Amino acid sequence: QVQLVESGGGLVQGGGSLRLSCAASGRTFNSYRMGWFRQAPGKEREFVAAISRSGGSTHYKDSVTGRFTISRDNAKNMVYLQMNSLKPEDTAVYYCAAAQGLAWKDEPEYDYWGQGTQVTVSP
């Protein structure tokens, strides 16, 4: 089992940047594929980005490609989401998730979830 704790959210002006962090417990962090999801008010939770166990492969939601970068540090049990050129439509609660299987974008394939961190982007 793995426990996930997100941090780094906050209020930022449009065009600004934030870096989200997700700290994972346990000694088998590198056996999990990791993902970031987000949920805006009144909307369903959606996929944002995912990274393979080694960090060598990444996948992104189309609307964040070129602006967001997911990365991981297996030695520190950390996964990050660097968000640049933020837009008001990026406002949401961002969740870190861990998958034991071959999940990329499918939420049901993720086994463990953090509590979320709020990101608010002002116009």
Distance, in Å, from the CA atom of 83 to the CA atom of 77, rounded to the nearest integer, reads: 20
pLDDT per residue over 18-73, tens digit each? Answer: 999 999 998 799 999 999 999 999 999 999 999 999 999 999 999 999 999 999 99
Bridging pattern class, strands 58-60 and 46-51: antiparallel
Distance, in Å, from the CA atom of 49 to the CA atom of 68, rounded to the nearest integer, reads: 8
pLDDT at 108 over 90: yes
